[in-house]
Amino acid sequence: MELAKAVDIPPFDKLKLALIGTEKSGKSRLAVTGRKPILVCDFDQRRESIAGTPGVYIATFRDRGHPYQPEAFGELLDLLTKLETNLDLLKCGFDVLEGTILKTIVLDSISTLAQAAMSYALYTTKEIRREINIGGKITVQIPKSYDAWGAEMSMVTGVLFRVLALPIDVIITLHETAEESPDSSNESPKFTGRIDVFPVRYKRLLKYFNELWRVSRDTGTVPKVIIAPDWKFTTATCLDLDGVETPNIEAMIAKHISRHKGDIIVSNKK
């Protein structure tokens, strides 16, 4: 439990940012413009998309598939345990010339992290899974009950709470999808024209983030970061930024700080 007076809490002390956008919209590239050093927990197998970025370290997690035990989710938990003890990347096993104290962690992406959590839950808990043999050569495990989805959500939320407790910036990426209207069905899909999080159940995670930005890019153009809410999607921010920003998180943080120099000193004097 932490006790504090609201007047002593600055509106911005660390970044808690959720980025939403379509595939290839530039979410990963935007995430690594944060305050460095940055550690990207790559579940999407796309580390090449951020290759060559100075000050960025990448931990790629993958499972080998049935019949091998899923390892990706457990490896993430092991890494978090190390970071909770020491934020020095050198002591966490990264090949760096000298100790590097982590400033930002990125979970890329939440939907694929969730798949790793589900795979681990199904493999270790037979009560919540069904097994289907395909062609006598491939066996797949699928959820048998809502308990499986509950386990997945609980595991992902647990990881998120541990990451948010670290004294560093936290960035997650989420995929977007078209919002379905209430009378939509598989046979006759209908849409509202608005944007939603995919999968929709992970929309409930957004409440843990002060910053919710949407990344959008037209074909062949530089991505734009949408800060102000519009009719398509309700964004959120505690920072003093413009409605649309260029994709550079460090520059955006610097803009906010420059606009609010002395705010923390004034609030502490009250």
pLDDT tens, N- to C-terminus, the chain (270 residues): 666 667 666 666 789 999 999 888 889 999 999 999 999 999 988 888 888 888 899 999 998 877 788 899 999 999 999 999 999 988 888 877 677 899 999 999 899 999 999 889 988 888 888 878 877 777 787 788 888 889 999 999 999 999 999 999 999 999 998 888 888 877 888 888 898 998 888 999 999 999 999 998 876 678 899 999 999 899 999 898 999 999 999 999 999 888 877 664 433 333
Q: What's the pLDDT at 220?
A: 63
Q: What's the pLDDT at 266?
A: 39
End-to-end CA distance of the chain: 25
Structure tokens belonging to residue 201: 């159940």
Q: What's the pLDDT at 167?
A: 94
Q: What is the CATH number of domain 11-269?
A: 3.40.50.300
My answer on whether omega of the bond before 247 falls inside 30° of 0, hence cis, is no
Q: What's the pLDDT at 127?
A: 87
Which residues on adjacent β-strands are paired with residue 172? 18, 107
Please give the Cα distance from 32 to 248 (Å, whole number): 9
Q: What's the pLDDT at 95?
A: 78
Q: CA nearest 21: which of 242, 221, 204, 172?
A: 172
β-strands 138-143, 169-180 pairing? unpaired
What are the percentages of helix, strand and coil residues in the chain, rounded to 5?
35, 25, 40
Q: CA nearest 93: which of 108, 105, 78, 74?
A: 78
- Are 247 and 267 in contact by the 8 Å Cβ rule? The answer is no
- Are 17 and 213 in contact by the 8 Å Cβ rule? The answer is yes
β-strands 211-216, 16-21 pairing? parallel
Cβ atoms within 10 Å, residue 109: 24
My answer on whether omega of the bond before 109 falls inside 30° of 0, hence cis, is yes
**DSSP H stretches of helix in the chain:** 27-31, 72-85, 110-124, 146-164, 249-259, 263-269
Domain coordinates in residue numbering, the chain: 11-269
Q: What's the pLDDT at 76?
A: 95
- Are 157 and 92 in contact by the 8 Å Cβ rule? The answer is no
Task: Classify residue 64 as left (phi > 0), alpha (psi -120 to 50) or beta.
Answer: alpha
